[in-house]
């Protein structure tokens, strides 16, 4: 389903449950003064292929493998993932921001987990992405947080 324009940059789509949850999260953030939006959600195989190839051309394969999933391996292809931005700040400029801290501390309450937390690249295989959240549902998100594990570790145990 398409996200409302007030919560997205361009046309963004998510599965129904993830869409409802991210709207709930963005509304809660807004009440605390954070104006969040989704700047990248569902990607088709061909769109993910183009995204990955772009990063290979821009920064080389080694960099691309740390920052962009190969086609067929991206959480974005599930329709349950969003890259979150605010006030024109997207991707790397979000690192260390109050908004990123809010997402890290609160996204689980809405069923989301930051897939690639800081300091966990050796586990996840990806550089930290405080803007990248994956919907797993409120119960599972709470279990992941309680476990102290990354989402990847939690799902593999």
Q: Which of 1, 47, 90, 129 is catalytic?
A: 129
Cα-Cα-Cα-Cα torsion 27, 29, 30, 36, nearest 10 degrees, comes to -90
What are all long-range contacts of 21-29, with beta carbons under 8 Å and residues at least 24 apart?
A: 21/110, 21/111, 21/112, 21/135, 21/138, 22/82, 22/110, 22/112, 22/133, 22/135, 24/110, 25/106, 25/107, 25/109, 25/110, 25/112, 28/106, 28/109, 28/110, 29/99, 29/102, 29/103, 29/106
129 has catalytic annotation: yes
Phi, psi at 31, each rounded to 5°: -65, -20
Cα-Cα-Cα-Cα torsion 125, 127, 130, 134, nearest 10 degrees, comes to -30
Report, as residue numbers or ranges, the catalytic residues.
129
């Amino acid at each position: 389903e398409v996200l409302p324009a007030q919560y997205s940059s361009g046309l963004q789509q998510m599965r129904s449950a993830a869409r409802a949850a991210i709207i709930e999260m963005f509304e809660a953030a807004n009440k605390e003064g954070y104006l969040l939006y989704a700047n990248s959600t569902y990607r088709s195989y061909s769109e993910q292929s183009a995204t990955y190839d772009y990063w290979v051309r821009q920064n080389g394969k080694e960099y691309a493998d740390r920052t962009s999933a190969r086609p067929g391996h991206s959480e974005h292809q599930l329709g349950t993932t969003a890259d979150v931005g605010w006030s024109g700040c997207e991707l790397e400029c979000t690192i260390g921001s109050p908004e990123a801290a809010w997402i890290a501390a609160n996204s689980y309450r809405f069923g989301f987990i930051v897939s690639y937390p800081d300091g966990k690249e050796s586990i996840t295989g990806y550089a930290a992405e405080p803007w990248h959240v994956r919907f797993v549902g409120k119960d599972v998100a709470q279990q992941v947080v309680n476990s102290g594990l990354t989402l990847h570790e939690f799902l593999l145990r």
